[in-house]
A and B are shown apart, each in its own frame.
Chain A
Amino acid sequence: MKELMLGNKAVARGLYEAGCRVISSYPGTPSTEVTEEAVQFDDIYAEWAPNEKVAMEVAFGAAMAGGRAACAMKHVGLNVAADPLYTMSYTGINGGLVIIVADDAGMHSSQNEQDSRNHAIAAKVPMLEPSDSEEAKQFTKLAFRLSEEFDTPVILKMCTRVAHSQSLVECGEREEIELRPYIKNIAKYVMMPANARPKHPFVEERAKKLLAYAETTPLNRIEWGSGDIGIITSSTSYQYTKEVFGEKASVLKLGMVNPLPEELIKNFAAKVKRLIVIEELDPIIENHCKKLGLAVEGKSLFPMIGEFSQGLIAEKLGFSPKASAALEEKIPLRPPVMCAGCPHRGMFYTLNRNHCTVLGDIGCYTLGAVAPLSAMELCACMGASIGAVHGFHKVRGEEIEGNTVAVLGDSTFMHSGMTGLANVAYNMSNSTVIILDNSITGMTGHQQNPTTGYNIKGDPAGKINLEALCRAMGFKRVCVVDPYDLEECDRVLKEELQAKEPSVIISRRPCALLKYVKAKPPIAADREKCVGCKSCMKLGCPAIGIKDKKAAIDETLCVGCGVCTQLCPFDALGTKKGGALS
């Protein structure tokens, strides 16, 4: 019986069937469900690590010890884990090691749209790229075999449309794989120069063997069609290509995108009149073809930017566009917003009111940059806020001491903020760092982290105390505020900005969407008292609007956090009590 299965779940199924023992990951859209689904199998030990580098090192350790292991991350996570990756390419593995990386062309939930194939090329490790859920499962299993056969980590490259699409999967049984013996091998695993030098030739030799494999593997297949056109493609672009051409073009579908075959491509090219490469993001297959001396079209037709679709491919190849329904109407945008009752809102309002320069970070709270709060001026990568605020201080000194802060979440702080904070403590800038502790990893859909006290299964686990951690680093000024209390936030922020030493403010309240957080009765607006001053609108709360020039609360959205009631100068907002407001 076939199942309709999410691509990421199919990868988890592949891990299970391949006898994988350990997966360690850090959540990141669109990769998160791989690990969330893997934890459903009792035969796999799954965990959330503090970041992708640690996750990959855990997976590597498990593989070195002789078991099959994996880690999953989004594309930018592989940057964090690049350091172990490049040297694990040298050491090789013992038990199979598979690294799942999910790209996000179109940037649905990411800060850039880098192409992970570049990492596979640079680290000289093989990369497989499935085009639907069934392939996601099959390729995962095959990746373990290749890892062990060629003594290398193998990357499985997903993308948003494969990771987050459901298609049919045939489930199989788990293959029980014996632990491989672990034998002390200093020459293999201790990469000091004397040992690393002989490993580089090993890597180059392996690359040649992998190239030979790429020429003949069934992962790369030709589907001969009727026309003169030959298309080389992979992943979801293969699906779009088939949608447009059906059997009317010949297609070389690449399931292995590093290394790329040479003879196979040359032979394919020789049998078609017009050779086209269809690939999202960078022209990697195209440049490979050019290096082989082939006349090929690729980025001269298709964009380097964003996602493709069947419509885009048809249009760029000169097909006339499909007729569609159309509406002559200006449709207002619907950007994502901080949820009603979001604990981050009160702190961003306070920062805005104090005209602070806010160097931000990656998470739900990045939405603090959106109007009307517009209270964030940097979002680059995990943990960058703290390094950046320190840099600001070193250039502008006292001029900005009273108004510049770093803001990042609890999970982001654990991921890459601690080292930045150590730098502030060590190199002594008068920085103020605000940790928005909502007791969960929010944006990716509520994953536990080292500060929450629970593990991936929801069982009690070690809990890192943020206050004690910051104090241990040497911060004397560490305080905790409730972001629902605007007066307290304002007082503490002013104090810490004025202080002549670095400080940490922990803005603590659990995410309003967490199951254990119970909503209070909704706030009501008193139309008699409201004068339409719009003070409450400065919060950017989706539950507050203006109807007939006066404040109106959407009771279906309001969770009764009460932040807006602290802003109203006319006491027009309050909880309903027997008809009157209190």
Chain B
Amino acid sequence: MTKNIMIVGVGGQGSVLASKLLGHLLLTEGYDVKVSEVHGMSQRGGSVVTYVRFGDKVYSPVIDKGEADVIVSFELLEAARYMGFLKPDGKIVVNTQQIDPMPVITGAAEYPKDLVAKMKAAGVKVDAIDCLTKAQEAGSSKAVNLVLMGRLSHSFDFSEEVWYRAIEAVVPPKFVEINKKAFSLGRAE
């Protein structure tokens, strides 16, 4: 049975490390894995999405509407944007940080209010946390991705040790401790 994780956010937020970590971990745990992302123009502050799929045998590299088990979002609006990709009983792990898109900045559109409540009302599980604060607590505002991975880890049966080994494998040595701490702060709650 193939499992589907979507990682979404704003171009430049650093979802690459998150997908790299997941990919490595799933590979070492013996799964067939596919990770798909789009490079280029959308990375310039646009909406970005990475698909991570794993199971015994994975064919398609992309996730379609109604297929995602979990959406991990670096930004609140982006979680809402991709909700149609989630299974009806799926889960959203979301950083509550809000980044205004250009139409909101110019006043052509409004940033929707109470998105977490609205997403919950739609019947999906929502795990919303302020990752930026946790990341700063861990020692770097750039560690938002690992706080999110810590939260996401509850959707898997892997031990903490397995996650730590994956962090050691994909993160440069001098950032391992900060990233482990960010992960554990995310996982703790």
Residues of A whose CB lies within 8 Å of any CB of B are: 2-4, 29-30, 32-33, 108-109, 132, 160-162, 164-168, 236, 239-240, 242-243, 309-312, 321-339, 364, 367, 370-372, 443-445, 537, 540, 542, 544-546, 556
Contact = CB atoms under 8 A, between A and B. Distances in A.
Contacts of B44: 336-339, 364, 367, 443
6 contacts: A4-B24, A29-B40, A161-B36, A321-B65, A325-B86, A545-B105
A562 B39 CA distance: 29
- Tell which of A312, A330, A334, A546 has the most Cβ of chain B within 10 Å: A334
Given A335-B102, A337-B102, A168 B32 contact: yes
Contacts of A321: 65-66
A309 B81 contact: no
Contact of A336 (B34, B45, B107): B45
Contacts of B80: 327, 329, 331
Given A325-B83, A445-B39, A542-B45, A243 B59 contact: yes
B124 interface: yes
A444 B37 CA distance: 15
Given A30-B39, A443-B40, A329 B46 contact: no
- Tell which of A243, A322, A338 has the most Cβ of chain B within 10 Å: A243
A29 B106 CA distance: 29
A108 B60 contact: no
Nearest to B60: A243
A480 B40 CA distance: 29
B101 A335 contact: yes
B14 interface: no
Contacts of B111: 332
Nearest to B75: A334
Given A4-B23, A310-B60, A339-B44, A165 B102 contact: no
B118 interface: yes
Contacts of A29: 39-41
Contact of A108 (B40, B83, B112): B40
B187 interface: no
Contact of A540 (B12, B41, B84, B106): B106
A334 B77 contact: yes
B132 to A, nearest CB: 9
Given A165-B61, A331-B112, A325 B84 contact: yes
A109 B42 contact: yes
B188 interface: no
B40 A324 contact: no
A545 B100 contact: yes
Interface string B102-115: 11111111111001
Given A166-B36, A327-B122, A336-B46, A443 B41 contact: yes
B106 A325 contact: no
A419 to B, nearest CB: 26
A325 B92 CA distance: 11
A333 B59 contact: no
Interface string B28-51: 000011111111111111110000
In order of increasing CB-CB distance, the 6 nearest A-B pairs are: A109-B40, A324-B66, A322-B66, A311-B64, A29-B40, A336-B46
A337 to B, nearest CB: 5
Contacts of B106: 371-372, 537, 540
A322 B123 contact: no
A166 B66 contact: no
Nearest to A543: B105
B164 interface: no
B122 A239 contact: no
Given A108-B40, A322-B65, A329 B118 contact: yes
Contacts of B122: 325-328
A370 B44 CA distance: 13
A162 B108 CA distance: 37
B86 to A, nearest CB: 4
A408 to B, nearest CB: 17
A323 B88 contact: yes
B60 A239 contact: yes
Given A4-B27, A311-B65, A109 B41 contact: yes
Contacts of B43: 336, 445
Given A4-B33, A165-B35, 18 more contacts: A2-B27, A4-B24, A29-B41, A32-B39, A109-B41, A162-B61, A164-B37, A166-B34, A310-B62, A324-B87, A326-B83, A327-B83, A332-B77, A335-B103, A372-B106, A443-B40, A545-B104, A545-B105
Contacts of B83: 324-327
Contacts of B110: 332
Contacts of A537: 105-106
A314 to B, nearest CB: 8
A471 B106 CA distance: 42
B33 to A, nearest CB: 6
A243 B58 CA distance: 8
